[in-house]
Chain A
Amino acid sequence: MRILVCVKQLLEPETPLCIDESGRWVNISQTTPRQMNRFDEYALEQALVIREQTPDTTVDAISAGPESCSTVVRRALGMGADHGIHLLTGDQGYVSPIRTASCIALAARSRKYDLILAGVMSEDMAQGLVGPMVAEMLSLPCATSCIFVRVELAKASVYVEREIEGGRRQALELDLPALVSIQSGINKPRYPSLSNIMRANRQKLEVISTVAAEPSRSCEDLLHLSYPRKTRAGVLLEGTRKDKARQLLRVFRERSLLH
């Protein structure tokens, strides 16, 4: 079977963020360290597990974004994906999920994947929209936030368990081809192996320019960004580490939390 995994590149979460002059995005330099969205690592790992269990299975990884995104596709190859696709966009700043989804759907349509996996959301935007939007654009059945996935080739279906609130799971059977978004904790994502990294470095990525096929629709406008307001006092303790420890113990005693 043919599996596609959608992977996104993010700034490292600890990167200090500063809103730019336009007030509509943050300052990002070429050198800002980046990494793969961790929810996508779980999705990719799941694809690799399915490949181990299912004969004649190939795993493609796809990422839509600027030049820098090629490294996240290479990382996917390093983890073990067979083939990497980079949808090169000229996008800067906020990118509408509908646009990302249109790019991915356009590339995926002709390739006839049996299963498309995506992380449940990206850590930076936390929208959770691209995966299920791709599914709708390709008219695929879709289940989100899955914490268990088992392909049943004989039935041409996939059995999934969606994580829902209250410690419960919803069990579903989807006809293939389908799109499934993956929740963290479903597996333990592997690190790239040396042999795969070497292969990844030699291998050519398939680069598709999406500029020509620009899906023009953007449905929302990012008006402006701001820093969050404090909802509580948020008093920061000052002084040496020991000073701060003593102050905190005093706060605990004043509130009768400690005696």
Chain B
Amino acid sequence: METTVAVVAEHRLGLVNPVTYEAIACALEILRIRPSRLVTITIGEDSEEAGRQIAAKTGSQVLALKVPGLEEFNGDAYRTILAGLLAELEPAWVCIPGTSQGLDFSPGLAVRLGQCCISNVERVVERDGEPAFARSLFNGKIVAELSSLIAKTLLMVQPGAFSAVFTGSHSPGVVETRTIEWKSTHIRSLGFRIAQSADSALAEASVIVSAGRGVGSKENLDLVRRVASLFSKSTIAGSRPLCDLGWLPYQLQVGQTGATVTPDLYLACGISGAQQHLAGMGGSKFIVAVNTDPNAAIFNVADVGVVDDLEGFLSDLLEESNACSHK
């Protein structure tokens, strides 16, 4: 029997979240190693609309599960509905975007189905003719390759790790629709609220000087500010822990749960380079990192690195820049 690779799409109000295409890109890499049938699953009120877009763009066959009343993601609904469907489809691999949504329903689903679950997959590699999956450990300092010991695996695909390039040279996939009833039980959705939106300064800046936990103190942020003011069209920003500490407003947070930025220069000061941070700044045109730890993962994505203490180095940078401008 031909094996199946499934993708669980992410969509809302008829709009497909681009991470869906990244999950499909991951699935296609598995297909290169183990030729299989590809099926993309959409779930909810808007499943047909979203499914048609996916089928047109990627050529993937789509199974649209129309669930009356399910307008928004609900973990209970996804686990219940997918447990039924996956037991029927029996895919060997299921690729799920590793977003707040995927990370919410997948671990429980894996337990329910007795399947293997690997999160934050960044790469698919071939080992002994079988796909294995690479992910970061220890804040990006180590890469692990994991393989499944059982026949069925749920994979959560790290956002930003796979590039989704789909050319138009295929015929649209077939969309099959099924209607499924579901009643909320122990988890009730009470809607959404906007907590914060990214500061527009981040999108407009051509230089971002960004501070991480390595700044050590709130006072040292002043150095970061002064370095930023050397550049025109610049702003400061920071990693999540600095916002959690209350040293910076959340509007200035860069990363998976903050802003995505692509400035001409991103100067990362005392930032370790966790995947969740890289997701927001990996596309910057030029990246410079300052960090005391020569093995910090941020150096792997940097164009230029400085292994040094932040306070001392930024002070000298300011001094030298002054010296130059007065010559």
Which residues of A approach B to under 8 Å, CB–CB?
A: 13-14, 16-17, 19, 26, 94, 97-98, 101, 123-129, 131-133, 135-137, 141-145, 147, 159, 161-165, 167-175, 178, 184-185, 188, 218-237, 241-242, 244-246, 248-249, 251-252, 255, 257-258
CB < 8 Å A-B pair total: 261
Closest CB in chain A relative to B139 CB, distance in Å:
6
Chain B nearest Cβ from A113, distance in angstroms: 15
A-side contacts of B321, CB under 8 Å: 245, 249, 258
Contact B111 A223 (CB under 8 A): no
Q: Is B1 close to A, CB under 8 A? A: no
Q: Which chain A residue lies CB-closest to B98?
A: A128
Assess the B147–A231 pair: CB atoms within 8 A. Answer: no
B127 nearest CB neighbor, chain A only? A223
Q: Give the A-binding residues of B (Cβ under 8 A).
A: 72-73, 75-76, 79, 99-101, 103-104, 106-112, 115-120, 127, 132, 136-150, 153, 185-198, 206-207, 230-231, 240-241, 243-244, 246, 250, 256-257, 264-265, 272, 274-275, 286-288, 293-295, 297, 299-308, 312-313, 316-317, 319-321, 324
* Complex A-B: 10 CB contacts under 8 Å: A14-B293, A126-B120, A167-B197, A220-B117, A223-B147, A230-B300, A230-B301, A236-B299, A237-B305, A245-B320
Q: Identify the closest chain A residue to B149 (Cβ).
A: A221
B132, B137, B244, B302: the one contacting A184 at CB < 8 Å is B244
Residues of A within 8 A of B301 (CB): 230-232, 234
Given contacts A184-B241, A221-B146, contact A137 B111 (CB under 8 A): yes
B275 nearest in chain A by CB position: A126
Contact of A13 among B109, B139, B150 (CB under 8 A): B139
Q: Is the CB of B110 within 8 A of A17?
A: no
A163 contacts B110, C-beta separation under 8 Å:
no
**By the criterion CB–CB under 8 Å, are A255 and B286 in contact?**
yes
- Is the beta-carbon distance between A222 and B104 smaller than 8 angstroms? no
Other-chain contact of A165, B116, B186, B257, B275 (Cβ < 8 Å): B257
Question: In the complex the two chains form, what is the Cα distance from A140 to B244 in whole Å?
Answer: 29
Pair A164/B100 contact, Cβ less than 8 Å: yes
Q: Quick check: A220 and B149 within 8 Å, CB to CB?
A: yes
User: Known contacts being A132-B104, A233-B304, A257-B231, is A220 close to B118, with CB within 8 Å?
Assistant: yes
Other-chain residue from A14, A137, A223, A227 in contact with B146 (beta carbon distance below 8 A):
A223
A234 touches B143 (CB 8 A): no
Say whether B100 contacts A163, CB under 8 Å.
yes
A239 to chain B, nearest CB (A): 10
Choose among B104, B112, B149 the residue that contacts A219 (Cβ–Cβ < 8 A). B149
Question: Do B107 and A133 touch (CB < 8 A)?
Answer: yes
Do residues B313 and A173 form an inter-chain contact, with CB atoms below 8 A?
A: no
Can you name the residue of chain B whose Cβ is closest to the Cβ of A219?
B116
Contact at B303–A234, with CB atoms within 8 Å?
yes
CB-CB < 8 A to B79: which residues of A? Answer: 136
Docked-complex contact B138 and A17, CB < 8 angstroms = yes
Chain B contacts for A164, CB-based, 8 A: 99-101, 192
What is the CB-to-nearest-CB distance from B108 to chain A, in angstroms, rounded to a whole number?
4
Q: What is the distance, in angstroms, from A161's C-beta to the closest C-beta of chain B?
A: 7
Q: Is the CB of A228 within 8 A of B190?
A: no
In whole angstroms, what is the CA distance A175 to B149 when docked?
A: 35
* Contact assessment for B186 and A141 in the assembled complex, using a CB-CB cutoff below 8 Å: yes
Measured in the bound complex, the distance between the Cα atoms of B319 and A245 in whole Å is: 9
Whole-angstrom distance between the alpha carbons of A13 and B107 in the complex? 25
